[in-house]
Amino acid sequence: MIRIANGQGFWGDWLEAPVRLVDEGPIDFLVLDYLAEVTMSILQKQKQEDPALGYARDFPPLIGRLAARLRERNIKVVANAGGVNPVACARAVLAAAPGLKVAVVHGDDVFHRIDEFTGKGYEMRDMDTGEPIASIRPRILSANAYIGAFPLAEALDTGADVVIAGRSTDTALTLAPMVHRFGWRPDEYDKLAAGTIAGHIIECGAQCTGGNCQMDWQAIPDMANIGYPIIEAEADGSFTVTKHAKAGGRVHSDVVKEQLLYELGDPHRYMTPDCTADFTTIQLADTAPDRVRVTGIRGGARPPTLKLSISYTDGWKSIGTLVYSWPQALEKARAADRVVRQRLETLGLRFDEIHTEYFGYNACAGPAAPPNPDPPEIQLRIGVRGEDRRMVDRFTRELIPLVLNGPPGATGFGEGRPPVREIVAYWSALIPREEIETRVEVVA
């Protein structure tokens, strides 16, 4: 049995979680999931501005903080913190923690191969709209293939203390230690599916130990010290979801079921680079407090294609807010919205979309929100998006004047004009898996 703990569910997650996982009980592998789809474009832009950047900068100082304990307890780290510059990330880790052996997985970044792919006849159509990639080619910021667990396991096979990847699948981070330690083969589909589902359960960190839990959330113990998840994995593919005993939170089959439904498409065919997993075969059992046993998982062959995560620029946006107080807070906010829209029209400003929300009334639940005809306060939130940055910038000058020349009682304007931000859109496509070749490099 090996213990695999996940200490980050996204870039920006709780900084103390990995430290507590290392300090509060035994683990063999610490996996850290930093990347979301849009994160890749942010990192690509950083790298374009500074070739030494393009990775999750929280990661090297964390490893520096943990290095002595990782060595002492022989804990291996697997992370996708490399973003679009895994070698730079590895060098930063070595600077923060000299003496560690660091291996990098290459091959996911295909930003500079887009024209090569189209030249071979791959249209790389968007998986949602069916449009060919030619429609966005000049605006592409990043392009990365989702790689699976076997390249990460190969990196662990080098004896590395820290394995750094770019755009691996979230589940691969957890599956890789199992492939490495148990020697699972590419055709052992049931075992690979089990490891994949284990990774799916813990990929969002504390979301499977009571964080963001809808079921009886008020009763989750000691959320301020919530424990992050640990998989106790066995060679036959069965595993237990748990946490350190002293940590807060709760591991229960109801909580695990919520996470199993996260980002789930066809439950019979959850596709990854390593296999397909059948979520309908999962058997859960609460075997003890904070222990959920998972068995019975079946899987199938891996798909012939790999998914590409592509980001591209799609215009500009700005979002501004004002707060209106009682009495007639909602009426005031609606009047302010009408004034802004009329002034934009008079100025001849055109946008792809203008969107207004009323927080405190129905912004989150929409028409399902309970009636609240006279709320004590309303936050008016108006956003625009469009291709012309100058028009979006002009919009930012139309909200704050309402403090003096609009409906009474406006506040919440201390930050002044809202900023203009570039919109980064997401494009997913498929590529034959043989086009993606990975390799492992030990960085010295």
Query: CA–CA distance from 106 to each of 90, 168, 392 (Å)?
Result: 12, 10, 39
CB 266 within 8 A of CB 394: no
| CA atoms of 154 and 254, how far apart (whole Å) | 35
Q: How many CB atoms lie within 10 A of CB 156?
A: 21
Pairing of strands 76-79, 162-164: parallel
Residue 204 makes CB contacts below 8 A (sequence gap 6+) with 9, 10, 33, 259, 262
| Chain position carrying tokens 């359960």 | 201
CB 196 within 8 A of CB 274: yes
- pTM recorded for the entire structure: 0.94
Q: Tell me the residue length of the chain.
A: 444
Burial zone of 113 (CB within 10 Å; 0-12 exposed, 13-18 middle, 19+ buried): middle
Residue 324, strand partner residues: 378, 410
Burial zone of 26 (CB within 10 Å; 0-12 exposed, 13-18 middle, 19+ buried): exposed
Return the H-helix or E-strand segment holding 443. strand 439-443
Buried b (16+ CB within 10 A) or exposed e, 244-258: beebbbbbbbebbeb
pLDDT for the residue 75? 98
Burial zone of 362 (CB within 10 Å; 0-12 exposed, 13-18 middle, 19+ buried): middle
- Boundaries of every domain in the chain: 2-108+146-303, 313-424
Tally DSSP H helices, then E strands, for the chain.
12, 19
| CA atoms of 193 and 409, how far apart (whole Å) | 58
> Which residue, 93, 17, 108, is CA-closest to 57?
93
pLDDT for the residue 377? 97
User: Which CATH class, in words, describes the domain spanning 313-424?
Assistant: alpha beta
pLDDT for the residue 271? 97
pLDDT for the residue 414? 82
pLDDT for the residue 40? 83
| CA atoms of 153 and 173, how far apart (whole Å) | 9
**Residue 327: is the preceding peptide bond cis (ω within 30°)?**
yes
Pairing of strands 298-300, 377-386: unpaired
Q: Could you report the average pLDDT of every consecutive run of 10 residues in the chain (444 residues)?
A: 97 96 98 88 85 95 98 98 96 97 97 96 95 95 95 98 97 98 98 98 97 90 97 98 97 96 93 98 98 98 96 95 97 98 98 97 90 93 98 97 96 92 93 97 93
Q: Is 167 helix (H, G, I), strand (E, B) or coil?
A: coil
Pairing of strands 102-106, 162-164: parallel
| CA atoms of 66 and 97, how far apart (whole Å) | 9
| CA atoms of 62 and 86, how far apart (whole Å) | 16
Residue 112 makes CB contacts below 8 A (sequence gap 6+) with none
